[in-house]
Amino acid sequence: MIRRHLRRSAFFVLVAGLFAWLVFPLYYAFVTSLRSGSAIFRVSWLPDGADFSNYVRVFTEQPFGRNLLNSFLVATAVVAISLLLGVTAAFALGRVKFRGRGTLLVSILAVSMFPQVAVLSGLFEVIRTLRLYDNLIGLVLAYTLFTLPFTVWVLTTFMRDLPQEIEEAAILDGATPWQLVTRVFLPLLGPALVTTGLLAFIVAWNEFLFALTFTLSDRQRTVPVAIALISGGSQHELPWGNIMAACVVVTVPLIVLVLIFQRRLVAGLTAGAVKG
């Protein structure tokens, strides 16, 4: 009896510890973001007061609003393109048998896994040739490098799970492959599209290396670059209040989205790996 009690308590201590480990950094960023001036340099474990001046300063001292808009536009465009090209490709890879399908699938997976830095100079040349340097469109193009393979991969697993007989019924009803995709599969894939789109959105929203390398001016930057480059008077005096406020601003909408679509996201995240 006592032993069982002890085990239960130990388990809950473990759970509480893990929980704290997961959420503490975000909590502490929030606490810090509400303090300013010299108060910031006194460690405080609990929130003390609500001073929103950091939030005001983030938006006034640099074009942070513009950066947010940039990130939003880039991520949205990347999602749209990836889904558009991804659905048709996923149909081909998931439901049509043809020579070379397996090789193609593995190559696509390989593309999503190889180091971005390996294409950095080549991609730089492409972007400069297309006159897209320091341009959001250039970023959109660059981001398809990882969102597109990933979208294709996840949608292919979802596509494969759709019932065979529905497809055959449509074929007998005289549907062409294009009609099959647009009028039968697309409506059925609705939930999968939301999941995949959201995952691609998060990837694009969070990307740093390309955004840092392919943009130059403050007004073309995306949020991660803007946050990384927030600096104060000198190297050693970073405006931590501003930075934490920016972090909270960027993170909160993402967390809300993620929590709303929790179950679907997990399904999408594990679809490519576990079902295989």
Q: Choose which of 34, 40, 77, 83 interacts with other proteins (CB under 8 A).
A: 40
CB of 265 to other proteins, least distance (A): 7
Window of 48-56, 60-68, 72-80, 217-225 that interacts with other proteins by CB under 8 A: 217-225
Helix 190-206 crosses helix 64-95 at what angle (to 10 degrees)?
A: 140
Q: Are 175 and 183 in contact (CB under 8 A)?
A: yes
Q: Considering beta carbons, is residue 62 or 213 the nearer one to other proteins? A: 213
Q: Choose which of 6, 173, 191, 232 interacts with other proteins (CB under 8 A).
A: 173
Say whether residue 144 binds other proteins (CB under 8 A). yes
Q: Are 186 and 252 in contact (CB under 8 A)?
A: no
CB of 52 to other proteins, least distance (A): 18
Q: Considering beta carbons, is residue 56 or 256 the nearer one to other proteins? A: 256
Q: Are 198 and 105 in contact (CB under 8 A)?
A: no
Neighbours of 34 (CB within 10 A): 22
Q: Considering beta carbons, is residue 6 or 228 the nearer one to other proteins? A: 228
CB of 64 to other proteins, least distance (A): 13
Token pair 């473990």: residue:
14
| Euclidean distance between CA atoms 192 and 210, whole angstroms | 27
Q: Are 68 and 249 in contact (CB under 8 A)?
A: yes
The CB-side HSE value for 194 (13 A sphere, CA atoms) comes to: 14
| Euclidean distance between CA atoms 197 and 264, whole angstroms | 11
CB neighbour list of residue 191: distance below 8 Å, 6 or more residues apart: 264
Say whether residue 193 binds other proteins (CB under 8 A). no
Q: Considering beta carbons, is residue 63 or 272 the nearer one to other proteins? A: 272
Say whether residue 46 binds other proteins (CB under 8 A). no
Residues 150-169 that bind other proteins (CB under 8 A): 152-153, 156-157, 160, 163, 165-166, 168-169
Q: Choose which of 149, 158, 196, 200 interacts with other proteins (CB under 8 A).
A: 149
Say whether residue 93 binds other proteins (CB under 8 A). yes
